[in-house]
Amino acid sequence: MNFLFILAFVLAYLIGAIPFSVIIGKLFFGIDVRKSGSGNAGATNTMRVLGKRAGFAVLVLDVAKGML
């Protein structure tokens, strides 16, 4: 049981560390959102830099990541 707890903890940490704003910014727009706007890699800065659609996509992916 301890192994499963540690495995779940490690997987949760790794999933939580996925920067969807950076991935979407670089993959679809060729822009690193951490180097534009406020410099924050969050949905709000993504919306400012890349637009509403990209910001909403990051928001949905971040919420899904948190729910997982």
Average pLDDT over residues 51-66: 96
Cβ burial of 61 (10 Å; 0-12, 13-18, 19+) is middle
Are the CB atoms for 46 and 33 separated by under 8 Å?
Answer: yes
| Structure confidence at residue 68 (pLDDT) | 87
Average pLDDT over residues 33-57: 95
pLDDT bin (cut points 50, 70, 90) of residue 48 is: very high
Are the CB atoms for 17 and 62 separated by under 8 Å?
Answer: no
Average pLDDT over residues 36-47: 94
